[in-house]
């Protein structure tokens, strides 16, 4: 990735956050994942992981559990929700790219 | 209604908080992190010994960081509120040809820019990326990210290790990380402070999300106690062990009643009301009275007795009051609930209830449904509002039958085994329906129209019914389709505001630009860099099918409902006031004419399954039927049993007659001005602006606080009024409402708490300055010929677990000289303020 591309990328990311678009999409995503039942499934997975890990709850850390469950969580996101959010992000990019370039 | 620690999994902080929501990958980790937080809190080691000694320093630092983090996080949402009606602004911006897809019109842009300039989003001090789970050091001004991909340890870890600083704050989730524990840690004081801060922001965000919304607020959870009563209780009362998990005997095909009663008994608001003497059987003259019977049933259910309870008297009262339910036949649980609520309302509010009714039933369940009809010819819209106590949802066909849906499925990669979720039902409920033969008032010609239902006001407790029983012309049938109920739900997409805002933006953009419009409202160019842009709306062939020159119906074009349904969650912002948590499910097994009802309900963060007299602990997996869901997902037949679901709001809005409310209320400027009269029922009524106190002849005292009057001219503020009465202020998170200008009192969603909390509240609610003032006043102003309080039927009440003897309370008070009401000073404000400053 060239230097310039990195610059554009970072600028985009900055605008993504500062415009509040990221938070807005996060809220929407959260609400969609709630109602699709994804959150309950992941929570269930976490609980199972905690139960099954023999080393006792004391030694588990948040990061450890996150690492273990992330592959499942990532894979179980409903395709349509993923597609919708990606489309929203794309729409934001199309709106913002011309401004970044100039 | 209890301290947040009582129900740790209900606190908002335990929710998922996606960090890199844009990258769904990052988002998918979130609950993984949230979950153990909850675990950690449950176990004793979740307490961090390192943090315990340094809470003061940490909180001092949090006082700076948390507002900063909140502004960074909610900047856009907060600005949306400042712009006023978002829907109107969005439409205006859209028709003005503003190419900015978001409703960020001129002014909003400017103030946002100012806010960004003043408080730029922080970046990682090491790598300068703004995203990636930023953490702020609680010792110095260092920000570090949690990125792992290229580095062995995250930047924040590196900083903490190098500098020896102990704690970091997760900048978006607001949780404290301890370097020595190498995990997120919790401390009662810090968590209480954080929760308080979150509640303050919550109020601001709710108002921003819907600036002119009238959220139903809980006026009062029960009969308030005077300080004297509270003192008596403290000295003479005894706390009982908690019940609440008691089976109900089947009295002959009354499983419907048992299931509904359990759902009602675990409804935190109804439970709180009934257990805190919201209704006095001793003073109730109606017979049969459902409120009395329910009160008795609740006393029994929450007694520390494990043997099943037989609600015979309640059943008898139900039969007497509702002849249509009498008899030993099988009844519909939903019908039974409606009958119970109806009779309960009559029992609580009497024959002539005030409007809006402040009885426990309406405070808990009442919402407002909006029906919008748009004429397809002239685009004129008419709205009708209907009160609702519950929402009855059809179960839509499980698979997309129409070509449109099939296309959408294909586009999404062709999922097999679609699972009907509650979203499908709600989207179906709020879909745009074509009406034929509609006579428009404006253009006068009968023709087609589009009708859409939405929820205008969401109730504190949302009762949902899945219409499983179809009564056809010849024969009925039961719908056994599986419907997945989520534990958490965001109702924003189904509210009137969200639907209107979205359709207006879309309609405006389409009409003015004639471009293909993406579902977010952004205008998509045909190609970017040679890559054709796929617009799903255009693909769905509903947007382009509508000729551009005809006025578009405000609520999407005809036939647009399916796409709208899919995309319903694209409301600008989710409103934090619309977040709900599941607390009870009523299930039905069997057929239309015969079957059995059971209930799941949550009690103190533990789920139980109630099957008539049998009670067993249950797992949330069973409640949500995750096993059935897996079957459905795999394409195998799955049976749905859930018939009714009850959700409560995660954060409740309390309305207490505060100084602000009083000031907004025209007549209440002068607290001294109190109207007293004896009303038709022989009740002594004292009207002091927002607070009205009724004393009935039989000794029942009722203090009502009425909502703020909307649109009342603001009078110049008189002398400072006594601060809000805080009868519910027994919690750690209480300071939420003490600081700042928040005029409602909010308690975190720790509703899964015990009845003991409700009982304790009686004992502890002494900071009730309003109540105290009123109590004083009523003592002074009472005419001698009125029947004094007391003389209750002691015998009747002897077996009540926690009973206030009004006579005993009454005596210690010295007789007060009669003072004209107008001369009364606004007392107690000093006391209260002292308390408040202590808490801060």
User: Is the predicted ipTM greater than 0.90, yes or no?
Assistant: no
Closest to B459 (Cα-Cα) out of B392, B388, B394: B388
DSSP B465-477: EE--EE--SS--E
Q: Which of A74-83, B275-284, B451-460, B587-596 has the lowest mean pLDDT?
A: B275-284
The domain locations on chain B are 4-209, 227-238+653-839, 255-363+578-650, 367-458+496-574
Are B732 and B193 in contact by the 8 Å Cβ rule? The answer is: no
Closest to B258 (Cα-Cα) out of B268, B246, B249: B249
The whole-number pLDDT of residue A13 equals 83
With an 8 Å Cβ cutoff, is A82 touching chain B?
A: yes
Quick one: pLDDT band at residue B581, thresholds 50, 70, 90? very high
Residues 17-56 of chain A whose Cβ lies under 8 A from any Cβ of chain B: 17-37, 39-44, 46-47, 50
Q: Which residues pair with B585 in a beta bridge?
A: B600, B645
The whole-number pLDDT of residue B608 equals 93
- pLDDT tens per residue, range B622-660: 899 888 888 888 878 888 899 999 999 888 776 544 323
pLDDT for residue B697 is more than 80: no
Q: With CB atoms and an 8 Å threshold, state whether B36 touches A13.
A: no
Chain A residues with CB inside 8 Å of B74's CB?
20, 23
Q: With CB atoms and an 8 Å threshold, state whether B27 touches A14.
A: no
**Integer Cα distance of B213 and B80 in angstroms:** 14
The whole-number pLDDT of residue B583 equals 94
**Mean pLDDT of all residues in B551-565:** 33
- pLDDT tens per residue, range B26-84: 333 333 333 333 333 333 445 677 888 888 888 888 888 888 888 877 776 666 654 43
From the candidate CATH numbers 3.40.50.1000, 2.60.260.40, 1.10.150.120, 3.90.70.10, the one assigned to the domain spanning B255-363+578-650 = 3.90.70.10
Q: Which of A62-71, B374-383, B824-833 has the lowest mean pLDDT?
A: B824-833
Quick one: pLDDT band at residue B478, thresholds 50, 70, 90? confident
Residue B173 neighbours by CB distance under 10 Å? 22
Instruction: Report the CATH fold assignment for B4-209.
Output: Herpes Virus-1 (3.30.40)
The whole-number pLDDT of residue B80 equals 60
DSSP chain A: --HHHHHHHHHHHHHHHHTSHHHHHHHHHHHHHHHHTHHHHHHHHHHHHHHH-TT-GGG--HHHHHHHHHHHHHHTS-HHHHHHHHHHHHHHHHHHHHHHH-
Residues 629-648 of chain B whose Cβ lies under 8 A from any Cβ of chain A: 629
**Mean pLDDT of all residues in B744-749:** 28
- pLDDT tens per residue, range B722-745: 333 333 333 333 333 333 332 222
SS3 for B72-118, per residue?
Answer: HHHHHHHHHHHCCCHHHHHHHHHHCCCCCCCCCCHHHHHHHHHHHHH
CA B26 to chain centroid = 28
Chain B residues with CB inside 8 Å of A40's CB?
486-487, 620, 624, 626
Q: With CB atoms and an 8 Å threshold, state whether A36 touches B412.
A: no
pLDDT for residue B674 is more than 90: no
Closest to B467 (Cα-Cα) out of B557, B572, B580, B335: B335
**Which of B147-151, B448-452, B476-480, B484-488 is most confident?**
B484-488
The whole-number pLDDT of residue B809 equals 38
Question: H helices of B104-226, where?
Answer: 106-118, 155-163, 188-209
Chain B residues with CB inside 8 Å of A61's CB?
36, 182-183
Pairing, β B675-678 against β B579-590: unpaired
Q: Which of B174-183, B398-407, B433-442 has the lowest mean pLDDT?
A: B398-407
CA-based radius of gyration for chain A: 18
Please tell me the distance in Å from B497's CA to the nearest CA on chain A: 16
| Closest chain A residue to B629, measured at CA | A37
Quick one: pLDDT band at residue A93, thresholds 50, 70, 90? confident
**Range B730-741 burial, b when 16+ CB lie within 10 A, else e:** bbbbbbbbbeee
Q: With CB atoms and an 8 Å threshold, state whether B620 touches A41.
A: no
* Pick among B13, B29, B624 to test the A interface (most A CBs inside 10 A): B29
Chain B residues with CB inside 8 Å of A73's CB?
28-29, 31-32
* Pick among B8, B10, B16 to test the A interface (most A CBs inside 10 A): B16
Q: Which residues pair with B595 in a beta bridge?
A: B590
Q: Quick one: CATH architecture of A3-101?
A: Orthogonal Bundle (1.10)
pLDDT for residue B168 is more than 60: yes
Please tell me the distance in Å from B466's CA to the nearest CA on chain A: 16
Q: Which of A53-57, A77-81, B168-172, B429-433 has the lowest mean pLDDT?
A: A53-57
Please tell me the distance in Å from B186's CA to the nearest CA on chain A: 13
Q: Which residues fall within 8 angstroms of residue B99, CB to CB, at 6 or more apart?
A: A95, B523
**Mean pLDDT of all residues in A2-13:** 79
Closest to B248 (Cα-Cα) out of B609, B610, B600, B586: B610
- pLDDT tens per residue, range B303-357: 877 789 999 999 999 999 988 888 888 888 999 999 999 999 888 887 677 777 7
| Closest chain A residue to B626, measured at CA | A41
In total, the C-beta contacts within 8 angstroms joining chain A to chain B are 210
Chain B residues with CB inside 8 Å of A32's CB?
569
**Mean pLDDT of all residues in B401-427:** 58
Instruction: Find the helix or strand (DSSP H, E) in which B30 lies.
Output: helix B24-42
Greater model confidence, B816 or B604: B604
The model's pTM: 0.67
Q: With CB atoms and an 8 Å threshold, state whether A24 touches B489.
A: no
The whole-number pLDDT of residue B662 equals 34
Q: Which of A65-74, B195-204, B544-553 has the lowest mean pLDDT?
A: B544-553
């Amino acid at each position: 990735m060239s230097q310039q591309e990195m610059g554009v990328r970072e600028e985009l990311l900055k605008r993504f956050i500062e415009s509040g678009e990221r938070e807005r999409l996060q809220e929407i995503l959260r609400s969609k994942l709630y109602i699709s039942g994804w959150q309950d499934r992941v929570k269930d997975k976490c609980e199972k992981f905690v139960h099954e890990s023999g080393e006792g709850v004391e030694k588990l850390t948040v990061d450890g559990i996150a690492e273990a469950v992330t592959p499942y969580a990532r894979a179980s996101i409903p395709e349509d929700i993923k597609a919708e959010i990606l489309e929203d992000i794309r729409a934001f990019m199309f709106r913002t790219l011309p401004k970044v370039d100039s | 209604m209890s301290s947040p620690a009582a129900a740790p999994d209900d606190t908002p902080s335990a929710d998922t908080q996606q960090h890199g929501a844009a990258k769904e990958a990052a988002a998918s980790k979130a609950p993984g992190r949230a979950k153990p937080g909850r675990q950690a809190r449950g176990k004793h080691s979740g307490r961090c010994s390192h943090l315990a000694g340094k809470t003061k320093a940490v909180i001092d630092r949090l006082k700076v960081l948390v507002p900063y983090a909140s502004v960074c996080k909610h900047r856009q949402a907060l600005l949306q509120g400042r712009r006023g009606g978002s829907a109107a602004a969005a439409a205006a911006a859209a028709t003005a040809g503003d190419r900015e897809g978001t409703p960020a019109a001129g002014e909003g842009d400017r103030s946002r820019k100012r806010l960004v300039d003043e408080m730029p989003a922080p970046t990682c001090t090491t790598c300068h990326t703004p995203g990636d789970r930023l953490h702020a050091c609680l010792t110095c001004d260092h920000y570090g990210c949690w990125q792992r991909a290229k580095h062995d340890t995250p930047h924040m870890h590196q900083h903490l290790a190098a500098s020896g600083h102990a704690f970091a704050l997760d900048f978006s989730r607001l949780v404290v990380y301890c370097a020595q524990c190498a995990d997120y840690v919790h401390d009662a004081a810090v968590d209480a402070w954080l929760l308080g801060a979150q509640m303050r922001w919550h109020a601001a965000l709710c108002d921003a999300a819907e600036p002119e919304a009238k959220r139903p607020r809980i006026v009062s959870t029960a009969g308030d106690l005077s300080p004297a009563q509270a003192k008596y209780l403290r000295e003479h009362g005894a706390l009982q062990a908690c019940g609440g998990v008691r089976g109900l005997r089947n009295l002959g095909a009354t499983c419907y009643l048992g299931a509904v009663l359990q759902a009602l008994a675990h409804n935190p608001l109804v439970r709180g009301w009934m257990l805190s003497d919201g209704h006095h059987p001793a003073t109730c003259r109606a017979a049969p009275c459902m409120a009395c019977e329910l009160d008795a049933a609740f006393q029994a259910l929450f007694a520390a007795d494990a043997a099943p309870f037989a609600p015979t008297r309640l059943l008898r009262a139900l039969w007497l009051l509702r002849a249509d339910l009498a008899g030993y036949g099988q009844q519909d649980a939903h019908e039974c609930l409606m009958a119970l609520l109806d009779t309960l309302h009559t029992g609580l509010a009497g024959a002539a209830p005030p409007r809006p009714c402040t009885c426990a039933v309406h405070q808990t369940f009442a919402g407002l449904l909006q029906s919008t009809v748009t004429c397809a010819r002239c685009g004129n819209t008419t709205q009708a509002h209907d009160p609702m106590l519950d929402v009855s949802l059809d179960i839509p066909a499980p698979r997309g039958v129409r070509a449109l849906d099939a296309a959408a499925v294909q586009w999404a990669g062709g999922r097999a085994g679609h699972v009907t979720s509650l979203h499908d039902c709600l989207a179906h409920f709020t879909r745009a329906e074509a009406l034929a033969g509609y006579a428009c008032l404006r253009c006068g010609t009968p023709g087609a129209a589009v009708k859409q239902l939405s929820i205008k006001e969401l109730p504190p407790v949302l009762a949902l019914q899945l219409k499983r029983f179809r009564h056809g012309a010849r024969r009925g049938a039961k719908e056994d389709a599986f419907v997945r109920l989520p534990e958490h739900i965001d109702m924003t997409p189904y509210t009137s505001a969200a639907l209107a805002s979205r359709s207006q933006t879309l309609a405006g953009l389409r009409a003015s630009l004639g471009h293909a419009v993406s579902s977010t409202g952004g205008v998509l160019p045909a190609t970017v860099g040679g890559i054709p842009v796929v617009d799903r709306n255009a693909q769905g062939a509903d947007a382009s099918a509508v000729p551009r020159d005809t006025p578009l119906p405000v609520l999407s074009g005809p036939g647009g409902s399916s796409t709208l349904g899919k995309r319903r969650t694209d409301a600008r912002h989710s409103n934090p006031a619309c977040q709900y948590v599941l607390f009870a499910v009523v299930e039905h097994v069997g057929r239309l004419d015969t079957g059995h009802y059971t209930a799941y309900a949550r009690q103190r963060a533990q789920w139980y399954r109630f099957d008539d007299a049998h009670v067993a602990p249950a797992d949330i997996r069973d409640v949500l039927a995750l096993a059935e869901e897996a079957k459905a997902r795999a394409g195998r037949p799955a049976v749905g049993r859930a018939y009714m679901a009850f959700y409560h709001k995660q954060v409740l809005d309390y309305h207490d007659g505060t100084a602000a409310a009083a000031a907004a209320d025209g007549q209440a400027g002068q607290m001294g001005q109190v109207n007293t009269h004896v009303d038709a029922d022989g009740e002594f009524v004292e009207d002091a602006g927002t607070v009205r106190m009724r004393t009935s002849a039989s000794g029942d005292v009722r203090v009502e606080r009425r909502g703020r009057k909307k649109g009342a001219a603001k009078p110049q503020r008189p002398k400072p009024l006594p601060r809000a009465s805080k009868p519910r202020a027994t919690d750690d998170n209480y300071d939420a409402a003490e600081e700042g200008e928040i005029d409602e009192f909010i308690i975190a969603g720790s509703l899964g708490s015990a009845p003991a909390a409700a009982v304790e509240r009686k004992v502890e609610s002494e900071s009730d300055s309003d109540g105290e003032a009123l109590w004083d006043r009523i003592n002074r102003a009472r005419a001698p010929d009125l029947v004094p309080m007391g003389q209750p039927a002691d015998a009747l009440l002897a077996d009540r677990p926690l009973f206030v003897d009004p006579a005993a309370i009454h005596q210690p008070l010295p007789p007060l000289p009669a003072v004209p009401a107008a001369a009364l000073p606004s007392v107690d404000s000093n006391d209260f303020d002292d308390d408040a400053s202590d808490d801060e």
